[in-house]
Amino acid sequence: MEHNIGTYNDLDPDTEARVESLLAQMTLPEKIGQLVQIGPFAPFDFEDYQAKNMDELIRSGRVSSFLNITIPHLINHCQRIAVEESRLGIPIIVGSDVIHGYRTIFPIPLAEACTWNPALLERASRVAAEEASAVGVDWIFAPMVDVARDPRWGRIAEGAGEDPFLGMAMARARVRGFQAADLSSGRRIVACPKHYVGYGAAEGGRDYNTTDFSERTLRDVYLPPFKAAFDAGAGTVMSAFNEISGVPATANPLILTTILRDEWDWPGVVLSDYESVRHLIPHGMAANLKEAARLSILAGLDMEMVSSAYPDHLAELVAAGDVPLAAVDEATRRVLRLKFRLGLFENPYTDESLADALILRPDFRALALEVAQESMVLLKNEGNILPLSPQTRLAVIGPLADNRLDMFGCWSLQTHPEDVETVLEGLAAYLPADAWTHVPGCPIRDTAPTDIAAAVAAAEEADVVLLVVGESADMSGEAHSRTHLGLPGRQQELADALAATGKPIVCVIMSGRPLVIPRLAGQAQALLAAWHAGIRAGRAVADILFGAANPSGKLTASWPRAEGQIPVYYAHKNTGQPAADADMKAFAAVFKSVYLDEPNSPLFPFGFGLSYTQFDYADLRIAQPTLKLGDTLVVSATVTNSGDRAGAEIVQLYVRDRVGSVTRPVKELKGFQKIHLQPGEQRIVRFEVRVADLGFTGRDMRYTVEPGDFHVWVGPDSTRGLAGAFSVS
């Protein structure tokens, strides 16, 4: 794929000279103003804007950025005051939460990651940038690159799942897409990976909750996707709500200065999350906003989102000598640098005629369908019941079959129900209207009457039951954590009644997270994880059900058997008494790291997903079984499409370091390739991994690659594959 990518981390002398010249002209209040993001006022209510005296705040240089304003004429109004009426003419930067599309809504990011197709997601992110830039947005608060291993946490929907390596690939792709340098609007976008760092480790899966993990886990699990995003050119980052080792991220010198500036030499802007400077007070780190401002600026936080600690208190802190002026200067320098690099001084205004031409274009809708198709994961297909025949008489049952709003998922600011295709509308492309009966059966929640009897009656008249169930959009996302991850409401009761008819059930599950559905998995002959798949959800589901699209998605977060297993993830440690260690003879078999009432394994593992064809693996080869530090591990295997349909397979490479100076995971993903094969076609899939990339954070908290023996697997998921071995000397 050809890239024309904007990067914001290569300092150039001309820009630096412009920054220093402008900085030298600024008063302290003007510098502090560059560290202030305001919002949201009611963006569709100009009276609210005027009541908050925004014109005067901008004119006096006390606003640097606005949050989630997406009206071109209002953005231009603000920009005109900043550029033409303020003393120094410094433009405003407009930030917005464009998490998985602006108006062309793609599947939620967790679903997008199940494509295992970074090039595709780069294209999707570029579409988001095209649309957002057309309305005047300069700054996208995405990608979310938090590694998340607890599906109770609602924000698992916003990231790439449980694995750092896959998260790195998706982070790079989405940053490249957002920061494409040749957008049709002629403007530029800067990405803002979030939430820095460790937010996905919230205890109990409860949003905003305490986190507690070692520095080694920080460096080996949670930091790598951020580093990948910065290496791809991301010019900003958003700090997290959580603490790290007892110090909230917003005021944490280890992550904001030691790692970000001293170790990584990253020159970008750090933005707080929403009011997270003020949050230092309930965290118990600061007694008041003044103290919160001091702690945050000294730790390395550049810009404050919404709360008013910086504008209210930084000047007096500098005057009292509690905050060096140099700290304010450095934060201001970073913000000015970003605005210069975005071209805002030369091109501050938005062409208000662009939005109609650049939003929801037909090619954008076509791409949304492609992403939705590749994101869906076939979890079960007993007896090859899928794909369905066009002659099948269907009973379409469930609260999500004729549903528009919930297809948007948990993070869409622009929700236009008329943009969405429902499952029923998708089916219409394959079946005449008299070939199915639709009965919702029950609501998603249990607050409305059910019609289970009518659903059963419809099932008894059909060849196949198409059951479309899951979560509503507002059951996942920020502040929407759940302790019970089964089907909400009476949907399982509906499934029980339908299973009792004996009719085959094809179940489509729409959700923002992995669900706990062992009972449903036993009842249905086919299971398709369709997620909240965006505006083309219905057509994508129908294309897969009728075989126009061959499913190729694979899970990027394990699906538990029970909530009591959580967290359950493939890259776990082995423990001293592992469940499957046949050589451990010191204790009876019961004294293992196991449950009494469930297997250790998930219901559906990381990397798992079925196809309508069959892929066979053979002939694992390791080019050089003994390697040195500067070498490259080369592993290959032959993959054959032994079925009768063309299909795509995601070939995965896993490695295990057998013995280390600190304990290591039982497996780690180190490579993947998505290949397309015709029936009977075979291909040698070759992986190259630098030995330098097989390391970890050692006892001294430094990255190290240790000599020793390694296992390697090439296969279709994290539980299966051809096995081999190599060593590093």
Q: Which two tokens stand for residue 148?
A: 């998340």
Single-letter amino acid code for the residue at 631: D
CA 309 centroid distance within chain: 30
Q: Write out the two tokens for 81.
A: 């005051």
Quickly tell me which residue has 């899970």 as its tokens: 555
Which SS3 state, helix, strand or coil, does residue 704 take?
A: strand
Q: Residue 500 phi/psi, 5° resolution?
A: -65, -20
Q: Phi first, then psi: what are they for 139, rounded to 5°?
A: -140, 115
Residue 428 identity: A
User: Which residue among the candidates 146, 150, 273, 302 is catalytic per the annotation?
Assistant: 273
Task: Determine how β-strand 668-677 pairs with β-strand 247-248.
Answer: unpaired
- Running DSSP on this structure, what letter comes out for residue 187? -
Task: Return the exposure string of 540-573: e unless at least 16 CB atoms fall within 10 Å of the residue's CB, then b.
Answer: bbbbbbbbebbbbbbbbbbbbbbbebbbbbbbee
Instruction: Name the residue among 121, 183, 205 with its Cα closest to residue 342.
Output: 183
Q: Give the separation between CA 205 and CA 151, rounded to whole angstroms.
A: 7
* Residue showing tokens 């992110």: 125
For the record, the structure tokens of 116 come out as: 């295992």
Please report the sign of the dihedral spanned by the C-alpha atoms of residue 204, residue 207, residue 208, residue 212: positive
Residue 304 DSSP SS3: strand
Q: How far apart are CA 224 and CA 142, in angstroms?
A: 16
Q: Identify whether 419 is a catalytic site residue.
A: no
Residue closest to 91 by CA, chosen among 344, 342, 311: 344
Q: What angle do CA 573, 578, 582 make, to 5 degrees?
A: 135
**Ramachandran class of 400: left when φ > 0, alpha when ψ lies in -120 to 50, beta otherwise:** alpha
Tally Cβ neighbours within 10 Å of residue 610: 20
CA separation for the pair 552, 533 (Å, rounded): 15
- DSSP annotation of 461: T
Q: What is the C-alpha end-to-end distance of the chain, expressed in Å? A: 37
Whether residue 513 contacts residue 156, with contact meaning beta carbons closer than 8 Å, is answered with yes
Those residues with Cβ within 8 angstroms of residue 123's Cβ, 6 or more apart along the chain or in another chain: 177, 367
Strands 647-657 and 632-641: unpaired
- H/E/C letters for each residue in 546-605? CCCCCCCCCCCCCECCCHHHCCCCCCCCCCCCCCCCCCCCCCCCCCCCCCCCCCCCCCEC
Q: Which residues pair with 728 in a beta bridge?
A: 627, 708
Tell which residue, 184, 174, 127, 534, has the closest CA to residue 364: 127
Is-contact 159 147, C-beta < 8 A?
A: yes
d(CA 116, CA 118) in angstroms, rounded, equals 6
Report CA dihedral (55, 56, 57, 62) to the nearest 10 degrees: 120
DSSP string, 81-96: HHHHTSSS-PPPEEEE
Instruction: State the residue for tokens 């990255």.
Output: 703
How many angstroms separate the Cα of 311 from the Cα of each of 33, 57, 308? 7, 11, 6
Cα angle: 568, vertex 572, 576; to 5 degrees: 120
Which residue, 471, 474, 569, 572, is CA-closest to 515? Answer: 471
Angstrom distance (rounded) from CA 110 to CA 98: 15
Q: In what order do the strands lie in the sheet with 526-529?
A: 377-381, 526-529, 505-510, 464-470, 394-397, 436-439
224-231 helix and 164-178 helix, angle to the nearest 10 degrees: 30
Which residues are catalytic, by number?
273
